[in-house]
């Protein structure tokens, strides 16, 4: 970005949303990583929504403090505290939307993962296109859900006014709605496809 003549102080706003994006996206494949241990979730009778929430707690435990600490630092690096609402809206929104979509996609579209004890850099062979399509779709969907907040934040940089506040409200609003919908929807999918997920884990 510096090479293409983007102002250096604007770059201070980039790292936090990018980290939040990848952090939320990182759990899109967590169900497949359970392998045969997924049977514990299937037979234990635990509420599927609780299962979905439990998987997201570690990510949110990292992501929420990251946004809380990183947003003021980003605004400080930018040199204008008025961008703080936009930074929180974009970063928090993309984090929440990412984990919400990941909660749904991990139950609905699992694909082969490295087995316990295998190198994490070893990618299992798959006859389907899921290994490349699912992570791409999850990533792009997360970015798409963040665009309204990003646009409002950009308008705030250009025009000021109430745009940063709207970026905060819209970003967190979309994020919370997506998170709730993803957890509930992912739970229902997990409940309905439990035996299929167990069979998938045993095969892969």
User: How confident is the prediction for the chain on average, in pLDDT?
Assistant: 81
126-147: per-residue pLDDT in tens? 545 555 687 888 899 999 999 9
pLDDT for the residue numbered 119: 54
Other C-beta atoms closer than 10 Å to the C-beta of 140 total 10
pLDDT for the residue numbered 172: 96
pLDDT for the residue numbered 3: 47
- What's the half-sphere exposure (Cβ side, CA atoms, 13 Å) at 201? 23
Tokens of 69: 């600490």
Q: What is the residue whose two structure tokens read 């646009």?
A: 151
**Low-confidence residues of the chain: pLDDT under 50:** 1-4, 127
Q: Where are the domains of the chain?
A: 10-203
Find, among 136, 123, 106, 99, the residue nearest to 34 by Cα: 106
What phi and psi values does residue 20 have, to the nearest 5 degrees? -65, -40
């Amino acid at each position: 970005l510096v090479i293409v003549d983007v102002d250096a102080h604007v770059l201070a706003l980039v790292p936090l949303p990018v980290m939040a994006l990848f952090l939320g996206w990182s759990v899109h494949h967590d169900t497949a990583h359970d392998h045969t241990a997924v049977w514990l979730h299937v037979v234990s009778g635990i509420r599927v929504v609780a299962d979905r929430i439990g998987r997201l707690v570690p990510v949110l435990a990292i992501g929420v403090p990251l946004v809380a600490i990183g947003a003021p630092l980003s605004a400080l690096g930018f040199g204008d505290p008025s961008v703080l609402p936009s930074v929180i809206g974009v970063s928090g929104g993309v984090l929440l939307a990412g984990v919400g979509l990941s909660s749904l996609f991990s139950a609905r579209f699992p694909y082969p993962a490295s087995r316990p004890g295998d190198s994490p850099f070893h990618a299992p062979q798959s006859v389907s296109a899921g290994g490349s399509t699912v992570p791409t779709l999850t990533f792009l969907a997360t970015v798409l859900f963040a665009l309204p907040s990003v646009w409002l934040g950009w308008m705030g940089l250009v025009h000021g006014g109430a745009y940063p506040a709207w970026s905060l409200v819209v970003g967190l609003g979309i994020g919370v709605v997506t998170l709730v919908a993803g957890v509930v929807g992912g739970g229902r999918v997990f409940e309905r496809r439990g035996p299929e997920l167990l069979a998938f884990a045993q095969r892969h």
